[in-house]
A and B are shown apart, each in its own frame.
Chain A
Amino acid sequence: MNQAAPAIRVSDLRKRFRTTLALDGVSLDIQPGEFFGLLGPNGAGKTTLISILAGLTRADSGHAAIMGHDVVRDYRQARRALGVVPQELVYDPFFNVRETLRIQSGYFGLRHNDGWIDEIMHHLDLTPHADKNTQSLSGGMKRRLLVAQALVHKPPVIVLDEPTAGVDVDLRRSLWEFVSGLNREGHTILLTTHYLEEAEALCGRIAMLKSGRIVALDATRNLLQLTNEHCAQLRLDAERVPAPWQGRLQRDADGCWRINFGDYAELETLLADLRGADVRVLEMHLQEPDLEDVFTDIMKRT
């Protein structure tokens, strides 16, 4: 394994499916140990990109490498370094949980892997279900099994393709605790998700894809600064606001006043003017800009 190489390197990847251009020259480096988010609307090319990394799809041009191993030329090393949790909830109904994990280990040439299999099952709460046929598992348990299967060979790079789609809150939380733990241990995580709050909470860096192109790529905190639209919601003891603020403040159906502002100084002025006009603030809520605002903004602009 090439330690100096990026965990994932993608250079000018292009892929067309008949009339659809799924990837249009995507280049990206993800460093070892990163928790990286890949966001984009449906059809943006996220799954195509992941499929190329995993060797499930072949790019028309460009290169992709995992830990310095080209996914086509050096596919054995590349696949050993990669664990993929697929988006679809797939399972093999012929086997139970333990058999599934043993067989999956075998595909990676690992014969005596029971110690690690027990550990993964323990961490993912699969141990009580070890002898159950995969068909009889609940959706959440099947999802956990998919995660376990992706980890049987201890890959340094883990790709999770929308792993929490349709998953209940408890499982989502425990899954993220587990994956964050893996990241702290040094695993590189590439995550695609539709839940932007997840990406905001977990990912150090984020790339946004649209129509097969990267339209934003930066540290999550930098992306959050791209939009400075804060929002304040106020309940006042008056029916009218001072004249300069009429128009700036919008009244909600429930009687609250709402204002979008870029700078906290503006909010300070508003509060001073309200005090000067003898209007009392009964209640105030502040809303910070979130990734969803940035995402919506970028998708609109590009």
Chain B
Amino acid sequence: MSGLSALFYKELLRFWKVVVQTVVAPVVTALLYLLIFSHVLEAHVQVYPGVSYTSFLVPGLVMMSMLQNAFSNSSSSLIQSKMQGNIVFVLLPPLSYLEFFLAYLGAAVIRGLVVGLGVWAVTLWYTPFQLPHPLWMLAYALLACAVMGAVGIVAGVWAEKFDQLAAFQNFLILPLTFLSGVFYSIHSLPPFWQAVSRVNPVFYLIDGFRYAFVGQSDTDPMLGLLVAGACFVAISALTLMLLKSGYKLRH
């Protein structure tokens, strides 16, 4: 076992030991969103021709759950380790900053994917199975979890207290995910808010992911993939730079 695989395994085991909180709870939350929104809007809203509102909503909910949980995994693990002081167990061994990054990122991606699969599985009771573009789905799912896993590492390293992390989550991650077209198409928005949505990278992740399920989207899925890829490269570079410098981890 290399140091990297040990840390990756430890991070997987960590969230799996509290699976009710880390997987079951977000699946139930997503299901509640689905029940309420589809009940209220199913008969009134049709975003794309030939696509029911529930079918439109499901990919957005799956993606939103993946994004939030990938972020949660790395950020909460790091802040807890820092607050409890057990981060030294990871800092004392001969792990490189790259191994540190890959292990936390890998576990965040897995948690995101497990939650995403869970949400998708329960929504299959309410919408027929359809997946015309599975490779797009896979590419977007991986990239989205990776982007948010890396953002989670930055947040977890930066935050010194739980409320700082909560602020990061409530004032950045939640607005970015909620205001990204999970529940609506941005074409239904006034021009100003459409323009705002187009600078929100999460919008591209949800839009492209939805394309894989319903075959229709607000923008070209290739453009979304490029935006998401560029975001991942940028956030990874920032994360690696912080980890290499020992920012808030090594004095």
Contacts and interface: CB of A to CB of B under 8 A. Distances in A.
Interface of A: 17, 51, 54-58, 75-77, 79-80, 82, 84, 86, 88, 90-95, 99, 103-111, 149, 153
Nearest to A110: B1
Contacts of A109: 1-3, 6, 94
B93 A56 contact: no
B14 to A, nearest CB: 5
Interface stretch (B57-65, B80-88, B186-194): B80-88
A80 B9 CA distance: 20
A55 B92 CA distance: 7
Contacts of A80: 94
A138 B25 CA distance: 32
A93 B86 CA distance: 9
Given A58-B251, A103-B9, A106-B10, A90 B88 contact: yes
Contact of A104 (B5, B14, B89, B91): B89
Given A103-B13, A106-B7, A108-B93, 11 more contacts: A55-B92, A58-B250, A90-B89, A93-B84, A94-B18, A104-B89, A105-B6, A106-B9, A107-B7, A107-B90, A149-B89
B132 interface: no
Given A17-B251, A57-B251, A107 B86 contact: no
Interface string B1-31: 1110111011001100110000000000000
A156 to B, nearest CB: 14
Contacts of A75: 94
Contact of B93 (A86, A95, A107): A107
Contacts of A94: 13-14, 17-18
Q: Which 9 A-B pairs have the closest CB atoms?
A: A106-B6, A107-B93, A76-B94, A90-B85, A111-B1, A79-B94, A57-B251, A106-B1, A92-B86
A84 B92 contact: yes
A291 B96 CA distance: 42
B246 interface: yes
With a 10 A CB-CB cut-off, give which of A51, A88, A91, A92 has the most chain B CB atoms: A92
A76 B99 CA distance: 12
